[in-house]
Structure 1
Amino acid sequence: MTKQETVYVVSDSVGETAELMVKAVACQFFGQDVVIKHFSYVDDKQDINNVITASKYSHSIIAYTLVLQDLKQYLDHQAEEEGVIAVDLMYPLMDAFTQKFHMEPNRQPGKMRTLDENYFKRVEAIEFAVKYDDGQDVRGLKQADIVLIGVSRTSKTPLSMYLANKKFKVANVPLIPEVKPPQELFSIPKNKCVGLIISPEKLNQIRKQRLKNLGFTSPSNYASLDRILEELTCAENIMKKIGCPIIDVSNKAIEETADLILALFNKRGSFA
């Protein structure tokens, strides 16, 4: 039976970067037949002493990613003293960045994991916005960070997606006179909900253009001012009953409206 070689992966975070690098190199020598032992979240010299001792007595290599300079220097020194091979997988590239871009690294452990977590939170928020768009499933209202309500064509969906890209879980519900609003709107915290209103004239223009884009040329109740006034009156009554903040989106870009929503969020610390 072939003896399995061991490599100690040392990191001040989880150590995924070092592990992937070790596996890539190991494939050139042993296939996948290498044992990787982790020393993760290393933050003091005793941790380093432990891995140096383990590596020395098992005749193993240390592969490490330590961004804190004093720990890196201590590991290098102790490894040399004990005759252990320790390979820095991060500093050579960091030094190249410093020389080329004339910048110093911030030396914060776990930055990659933070970036990964932000990415997955953003993806989760986008999936949430798609699932709970346009009142498709009112069960999402209690799970949402923000709930947008308003009549058709008040930018609820694009706002939901924009805020989702900022990692907020957003649900939106259309308000229609003939359809009773979901009871969940009245049971969630009112500061989690944001009402979107718009001037009748602006909405009339938007809806006419929408119908034109869809190929409708004959007059439609959807774009008539009487119908629009009825919808807006009904929507505002619901918003007042809920007691939620209301934003007029008549002449605002998506980004501007989103900033106002987030300002409300930050002012209260939370919509919840």
Structure 2
Amino acid sequence: MERKLTIYVISDSIGETGELIARAAVRQFTENYEIKRYPYIVSENQIKGIFDEAEVGKSLIIYTTVSEKTRDFIEIKGRERGIPTVDIMTPPLVALENTLNVSPKRESGIIRRLDEDYFKKVEAVEFAVKYDDGKDPRGVKKADICLVGVSRTSKTPLSMYLAHKNYKVANVPLVPEVMPPKELFEKDKNKIIGLIANPYKLNEIRTERLKTLGLGFTANYANVDRINLELEYSRKIMKELDCIVIDVSSRAIEETAGIILNHMAEMFN
């Protein structure tokens, strides 16, 4: 009976890449194999222990490491013990270095960190959608940042912009006829951002909104007196919340977001 091949995958990160390549390659030859993955291997003693185990049977070592010292040690041990070794990272690193004329960073786990950042961003975007426009007051408690303001003060686009910076953002519209959720008054004031705007600027934006919706321009929504009433009410609530207030009248989304991000960095490092 054919002896089982054991492939040892050594990595200074989680070793997923090495295992996938090992599995794809060995399946071209046999089903009689076993793969043992050893993640986060950085010390020589750890590597010696793996070689001690590999020396007993029919073995192959595949490794992914960005450390030249670790690579050289594995190669030396492979020759000493008569165990074949396969270096996955060095050939593409050398090719890229020659092509780009730049040295590699030699930082392990970069792709994993990028993946984690991507999924955090997706989670933050989903959060912003779920808790947009006060849909669910529970979002106020969970949010890293809570935006409050009257309609058309850029709450939703700001929420999405900040979500792409990995912040979970909820936004709550302030309407005189509707009491804000109690969760708002229980939240850390430094995580609440009040948004206001010039009433005539809001009138212009709301008028265009009504036009888009095919509604008449006489609707109360775009009436300047009504807008002033809403703004007065919103300032009263923001004063009670004792939160930072930003006038978004003449600011781009990126500029307002920059003020918020600087505030968060100052308050929460």
With the shorter chain as reference, the TM-score category is over 0.9
**Corresponding residue SS for 2:179:** coil
Partner residue of 1:226? 225
Paired positions, count: 269
Look up the equivalent residue of 2:268 and give its one-letter code.
G
Q: CA RMSD in A?
A: 1.3
Query: What CA distance in whole angstroms lies between the structure 2 residues aligned with 1:241 and 1:29?
Result: 72
**Corresponding residue SS for 2:251:** coil
Query: What CA distance in whole angstroms lies between the structure 1 residues aligned with 2:213 and 2:232?
Result: 27
Query: What CA distance in whole angstroms lies between the structure 1 residues aligned with 2:70 and 2:144?
Result: 41
Partner residue of 1:23? 23
**1:1-272 paired onto structure 2 within 5 Å:** 4-30=4-30, 33-269=32-268
Query: What CA distance in whole angstroms lies between the structure 1 residues aligned with 2:233 and 2:128?
Result: 25
Look up the equivalent residue of 1:10 and give its one-letter code.
I
Look up the equivalent residue of 2:29 and give its one-letter code.
F
Query: What CA distance in whole angstroms lies between the structure 2 residues aligned with 1:151 and 1:181?
Result: 12
Query: What CA distance in whole angstroms lies between the structure 2 residues aligned with 1:8 and 1:16?
Result: 12
Bigger shift: residues 44-53 or 84-93: 44-53
CA shift for structure 1 position 39 = 1.3
| Deviations 1:161-218, CA, capped at 9 Å, x for gaps | 1111111110000000100000110001000100011010110110011111111234
Change (3 A) 1:146 1:100: same
Look up the equivalent residue of 1:9 and give its one-letter code.
V
CA shift for structure 1 position 4 = 3.9
CA shift for structure 1 position 2 = 6.6
**Corresponding residue SS for 1:149:** strand
Look up the equivalent residue of 2:210 and give its one-letter code.
L
Bigger shift: residues 226-235 or 74-83: 74-83
Look up the equivalent residue of 1:14 and give its one-letter code.
I
Query: What CA distance in whole angstroms lies between the structure 2 residues aligned with 1:21 and 1:185?
Result: 51
Q: Which runs of 5+ in 1 are unaligned?
A: none
**Corresponding residue SS for 2:142:** coil
CA shift for structure 1 position 14 = 0.8
Look up the equivalent residue of 2:188 and give its one-letter code.
P
Q: Which runs of 5+ in 2 are unaligned?
A: none
Look up the equivalent residue of 1:45 and give its one-letter code.
E
| Deviations 1:37-93, CA, capped at 9 Å, x for gaps | 011111111111111222221221011001111111111111111111110111100
Q: TM-score, normalised by structure 2?
A: 0.97
Query: What CA distance in whole angstroms lies between the structure 2 residues aligned with 1:256 and 1:89?
Result: 45
CA shift for structure 1 position 30 = 2.5
Deviant stretches of 4+, over 6 Å: none
CA shift for structure 1 position 107 = 0.6
- Identity of aligned pairs, percent? 49
| Deviations 1:10-42, CA, capped at 9 Å, x for gaps | 0001101111111111221225x5311011111
Look up the equivalent residue of 1:221 and give its one-letter code.
N
Query: What CA distance in whole angstroms lies between the structure 1 residues aligned with 2:250 and 2:2?
Result: 73
